[in-house]
Amino acid sequence: MKLFKSNKSVLKIPEGFSADCIRTESSICTGETTIGFYDEASKRLCHAELVRNEDEIAAFYAKYGLEYRK
């Protein structure tokens, strides 16, 4: 019997966005990098997450079923 279920389902890309909308932004003050879907209308990242290295960026792409290319 498994106590913890591994949920590795692929998420759908949010409505109104595409794979080309994914961008990373870095903070001038702290240097933190976030990745998310860039909304042209509001000029900000939506569904943003903090990333620390290339592996976490690749994991963000994989979460949405996309292939990460450097």
- Which tens digits make up the pLDDT trace of 9-22? 889 999 999 999 99
Q: What is the pTM of this model?
A: 0.82
- The CA-based angle 49-32-13, given to 5 degrees, is 20
Mean pLDDT of 27-37: 95
pLDDT of residue 70: 78
**Structural domain contains residue 40:** yes
Report the residue count for the chain. 70
**Structural domain contains residue 70:** no
The single-letter DSSP state of residue 13 is: P
41 pLDDT band, cuts 50/70/90, is very high
**Structural domain contains residue 47:** yes
The range of the structural domain enclosing residue 36 comes to: 20-63
Mean pLDDT of 32-60: 96
